[in-house]
Amino acid sequence: MKVALTCNTLPPGYSQESGDDTFAEFDAPSTVLAIRSALLRYCDSVEVVEADEDAYEKLKKGNFDLAFNIAEGIRGEAREAQIPAMLEMLGIPYSGSGVTTLAITLDKRRTKEVLVANGIRTPRFQLLTRGGDLSIDLKFPLFLKPNCEGSSRGITARSLVNSKEELEEVASEMVATYRQPVLVEEYLTGREFTVGLLGNPPEVLPVVEVGFEALPEGAPKFDCYEVKWIYDSLDVGYDTTVCPAHLDDDLRSRIEDVAKRTFEALEVRDLCRLDLRLDGDGEPSVFDVNALPGLIPDPAENSRFPKAAYAAGYSYEELIGRVFNAALRREGISR
């Protein structure tokens, strides 16, 4: 079996810790190599295919049996769907979610609309468009983020606002910088969790709790680019995650239930990581869904999906194998 590993690799010299979030969604060469090495335990050959303008011709000529897809795409609001669309056009089966799901889950507003339509709790929200009205019918404090970004791009210490003046200033800057609408949602102050799901139907991996109490004075006390890529980095060394989270059976059951319902509602496949907080009623409320979760292999880097898999007893190679074999079974491919 010949497998294409479709991905976007960080350019040489780039570091998320620099504060420049331009390529924050891309994968480090070490991650790409670790996935390739893991895949070689399950197939004959793996060719890395960079998800750029030349990808289509490489996929067309590659004679691939399957693609293991972690590609973020290079531009556009539905960029995570670019490589899957090419693969479907060429008749190459692939791991992970399909074109429609990836287009929706990168669009935070559309994701929340699907959640609401399926009775899944999510914070009240509103979309601010470029050049549109900045009036808001939501209760402060509010949380702002670019509508179509991942890896916490555009989510900074200034994303939490407490007044109309702050809202207008931060939203205007965000629209100008990222050239897209801004999602505004009511900020929930309850405990925050991230949940990994693996397989079809999905296994819910041990829940990760995200906490900010140990961060130094002056650091944001919510998940944002600075927390994820600077404070919680190898160089600085703050750990904002606990896995498995300390949960009673009732809360764990409710978190797992909403995670599986979200997976089903958005027609996610093979793997997923979603973020949620407890709302004012103590109920899990989903605020983000990542159908292409990060797969950084080094446990010290606190990549949350692998961290949950390690807590479940999987090695990195077994995690990649579970995703790979889930895709094969779903596609009816036998090795």
Q: Per CATH, which fold does 124-186 belong to?
A: Dna Ligase; domain 1 (3.30.1490)
- The answer to whether the CB of 86 falls within 8 A of the CB of 67 is no
Q: What is the pLDDT of residues 19-48, one digit of tens each?
A: 677 788 899 999 999 999 999 999 999 999
The pLDDT score that the predictor gives to residue 234 is: 57
Task: Tell me the backbone φ, ψ of residue 30, rounded to 5 degrees.
Answer: -65, -35
Kindly indicate the confidence band of residue 122, based on its pLDDT and cuts at 50, 70 and 90. very high
For residue 82, pLDDT beyond 70:
yes
Mean pLDDT within 318-330: 98
The pLDDT score that the predictor gives to residue 263 is: 98
The pLDDT score that the predictor gives to residue 284 is: 98
CATH number for region 192-331: 3.30.470.20
The pLDDT score that the predictor gives to residue 334 is: 85
The pLDDT score that the predictor gives to residue 237 is: 64
CATH 3.40.50.20, the chain: domain bounds: 2-105
CATH number for region 2-105: 3.40.50.20
The pLDDT score that the predictor gives to residue 238 is: 75
Q: What is the pLDDT of residues 268-288, one digit of tens each?
A: 999 999 999 999 999 999 999
The pLDDT score that the predictor gives to residue 212 is: 84
The pLDDT score that the predictor gives to residue 32 is: 98
The pLDDT score that the predictor gives to residue 139 is: 95
The pLDDT score that the predictor gives to residue 16 is: 64
Model confidence, pTM? 0.94
Mean predicted lDDT score pLDDT of the chain: 93
Kindly indicate the confidence band of residue 235, based on its pLDDT and cuts at 50, 70 and 90. low
The pLDDT score that the predictor gives to residue 19 is: 64
For residue 335, pLDDT beyond 80:
no
CATH 3.30.470.20, the chain: domain bounds: 192-331
Q: What is the pLDDT of residues 151-173, one digit of tens each?
A: 788 888 899 999 999 999 999 99
User: Which of 106-110, 193-197, 215-219, 252-256 has the weakest average pLDDT?
Assistant: 215-219
Give 20-27's long-range contacts (Cβ < 8 A, gap of 24+).
21/151, 21/152, 21/153, 21/154, 21/225, 21/229, 24/150, 24/151, 24/152, 24/153, 24/225, 24/229, 25/72, 25/149, 25/150, 25/151, 25/153, 26/72, 27/70, 27/294, 27/295, 27/296
For residue 232, pLDDT beyond 80:
no
CA distance 85 to 111: 19
Q: What is the pLDDT of residues 185-220, one digit of tens each?
A: 999 999 999 999 999 999 999 999 999 887 888 788
